[in-house]
A and B are shown apart, each in its own frame.
Chain A
Amino acid sequence: MRSYAFAAVFTVFASLLPLVVPEAYLYVIGLAYIFAVIVISWDLMVGYTGQVNLGHTTFVGLGAYVAAILQVPPRIGMHFDVSPFVAILVAGIAAATVGFAIGIITLRLRGYYFALVTAILPLVFMQTVYIWRDVFGGEEGFSIGLENAIATTVVGRYYVALFLLVASLLAILAIVNSRVGLRFKAVRDSEELAESLGIDTTKYKVLAFVISSFFAGISGATIVHYRVTVSPELYDVPLMLLVILSAVIGGIGTVFGPLFGGIVVYLAKNWWLRDLIAALGLPVNDEIVLYTILIAAGILMPRGAYAAFSERLKLYKLRR
Chain B
Amino acid sequence: MALRHRVLSVVSAAIVALAPAVARGTVDEPYDKHPPPTLLWLLLQVIPSPEIGFGGASAAAGLEWQLTPLLYSFGIYRKLSPWRTFVVEPLTRQSGSIELFVSPAYLAARTSDWLVRTGIHATFPLRERGEKLALTIGAGVCLGTESSAEVEGGVSVFAGTFGLFLTYAPRISLAPATLMLRIRWF
A binds B: no
Q: Contact residues of A with B, CB < 8 Å?
A: none
